[in-house]
Structure 1
Amino acid sequence: MKYLKRKVIILLSVVFILLMSALFVYYLIKGDSSRWQVALGGILVSGLPLLLIFKKKNPFNLPIIIGYYMLIFCTLFLGSIASFYLHYKWWDSTIHILKGMYVAFVGITLFKLFIPKDVRNDASRWILFLFVLSLSVLASALWEIYEFVGDQTFTHTMQRGGNTDTMYDLLCGFAGGLLVSFYAFVRKPKV
């Protein structure tokens, strides 16, 4: 399984880096500053999982690794470059729900990774619920800060709806995190 995860990470990273590099060059030549910046960011975030290869034990399972690349594809390529955010009003909220769910699943993995098994077994289901939900809400808030800073410095397309868009995105991220938090709550045995 270790080698399969390593191969999947390398394959998906290379495919995404090549795709985003080609888009970067294409939109740079075309003079589309908004899209080449997104493609440049895509190159960077596509390569991040390669750092996991150097760990002796990768704590993330295949669905989390593949989910990461699906979110990159849906957010950067479909959302920004293919303009799904502009053409489909439901796209933004759907992505925020999925991001909230994804970060919550990562939170479950981190809980298992950093909390010793005997402590985990004695921890209340509410501790896990609150940890997973808090991590998901934090990620949603950080994303909205990123969108705000991006609009103030580089582009003016991330928060077209202003405060309404921000609050709606935060609520969607919260909803996604809440769903997975309930899942974690139900799955964890009672203490």
Structure 2
Amino acid sequence: MKRKVIIILSGIFILFMAVLVIYYLIKGDASRWQVALGGILASGLPLVLLRMKQNPFNIPIILGYYLFLFCSLYLGSIASFYLHHKWWDSTLHFYKGIFIGIVGISLYKQMIPLKVRRNVSAWILFLFTLSLAVLASVLWEIYEFVGDLTFTRTMQRGGNTDTMYDLLCGVAGGLIIAVYSLIRKQKV
């Protein structure tokens, strides 16, 4: 079932972004066709999961990934939500923190055998989950910084204030999931 969902969602998103690449190439809008091209690459990443013997991600996580791609690439960049709605950027950073925290829990459950998990401290899971969310936030801000240095000048319009606010939102989202994992692990 997961295999079909990945193939269908990847196919739809790749086709959608390919149409946008062509449309914006014809219009001469370099910024938008480059974002759409990046969308093709990003939407193809879950296809790599098909090569794994056991995919660690469930269908809600896969759907969450495509939701993030749609909201950040299409709505955020191409449809200009980042420019017209100031709250859009911070909301997506908050969502990303939550999403990466959930991915961390999923990886933990997949990679650590149940017998070993029973002896792992709840605080270790808390730190692991929070650390992944923080790392994702930092890497995203590096991506935005490098993007502004090389391609655009629009990713960090607010400079350091934007960067710090984005990091705080990402950490807050990760912290929520880390606290959830702590409480859930202590109940077990």
TM range (shorter): over 0.9
Residue 148 of structure 2 is aligned to residue 151 of structure 1: yes
The correspondence for 2:165, drawn from 160, 168, 178, is: 168
What does residue 55 of structure 2 align with? 58
What does residue 95 of structure 1 align with? 92
What does residue 125 of structure 1 align with? 122
**What is the aligned length?**
188
Q: d(CA) in 1 for partners of 2:16 and 2:66?
A: 12
Letter in 1 for 2:69: I
CA shift for structure 1 position 29 = 1.2
Q: d(CA) in 2 for partners of 1:133 and 1:59?
A: 19
Q: d(CA) in 2 for partners of 1:53 and 1:110?
A: 16
Moved more, 114-123 or 84-93: 114-123
SS of residue paired to 1:189: helix
Residue 106 of structure 2 is aligned to residue 106 of structure 1: no
Letter in 1 for 2:164: M
SS of residue paired to 1:59: coil
Report the TM-score when normalising by structure 2. Answer: 0.98
Q: d(CA) in 1 for partners of 2:132 and 2:42?
A: 20
Moved more, 116-125 or 40-49: 116-125
SS of residue paired to 2:186: coil
SS of residue paired to 2:55: coil
Q: d(CA) in 2 for partners of 1:37 and 1:69?
A: 18
Report the TM-score when normalising by structure 1. Answer: 0.96
Equivalent residues of 1:125, 1:190 under 8 A apart: no
Letter in 1 for 2:98: M
CA shift for structure 1 position 59 = 1.0
Q: d(CA) in 2 for partners of 1:131 and 1:54?
A: 26
Q: d(CA) in 2 for partners of 1:147 and 1:39?
A: 16
CA shift for structure 1 position 189 = 3.5
Equivalent residues of 1:124, 1:190 under 8 A apart: no
What does residue 79 of structure 1 align with? 76
Letter in 2 for 1:73: F
Q: d(CA) in 2 for partners of 1:65 and 1:98?
A: 14
CA shift for structure 1 position 190 = 5.6
Q: What CA deviation, in whole Å up to 9, does each residue of 1:50-80 have, x standing for no partner?
A: 1111222111011100000000000000000
Letter in 1 for 2:119: D
What does residue 39 of structure 1 align with? 36
Spell out structure 1 runs of 4+ moving beyond 3 A.
none
Q: d(CA) in 2 for partners of 1:156 and 1:31?
A: 18
What does residue 65 of structure 2 align with? 68
The gaps in structure 2 that reach 5 residues or longer are none
What does residue 5 of structure 1 align with? 2
CA shift for structure 1 position 116 = 2.3
SS of residue paired to 2:50: helix
